[in-house]
Amino acid sequence: MSMYRKTLLTGIAAMAIVSGYAENPLSKSSSALAADSTNKDVPKVLSFQAKTLEGETADLSKHSGKVVMFVNVASKCGMTPQYAALQKLHETYNNKGLVIIGVPCNQFGGQEAGTSKEIRDFCTSNYKVSFDILEKVNVKDAGNEKACELFAYLSEQDAKPAGKGPVGWNFEKFVVDRKGNVIGRFKSSAKPDSKEMIAVIEKALAE
């Protein structure tokens, strides 16, 4: 190849990099920029790190644009039969945009002391649970125990009817609308299929 041709090709390559036709290894690719743009649209409540009951990374951000109900659950509580109503809600409204996420916690009466496998087996065999369940975590500050970031955030939101403050017992429910706002907080005694709960869910799904 002649010296003239080599010089010409080198010049063309340099121009391509400057003009953006060739990828600059020091800049983000278009796909990375798109990912950054998408992440900015994820509401804070769905941006926290979490793991599934099987210990895998749980991508909460995939539920952006949906109505999400977070419930701190336990296997040996007087409220445990609420699993049945939660599963019914899942079956009725999941295809309309409702996501239910159970979050096991052992801070209330030691009523969720089992392993992840025992929790899964219990939920499956007794209530045929098919909605998402995350790994066991703390949902409130207590002595040296600190609430996980997700529940620390949820507890700070002044959502009716329960208002803000530490989680008081198993099976509190937090309802998040499609924009990521916590629009409802219900105490343990509130049944998942109560008229009040259904009204909040259906209103959020319709928006």
| Active-site annotation, residues | 77
Alpha carbon dihedral 164, 140, 66, 83, in 10-degree steps, equals -110
How many Å from the N-terminal Cα to the C-terminal Cα in the chain?
67
Quote the Cα angle for 126-127-131, to 5°. 135
Tell me if the bond preceding 161 is cis, omega within 30° of 0.
Answer: yes
Burial of 47 per CB tally in 10 Å (0-12, 13-18, 19+) = middle
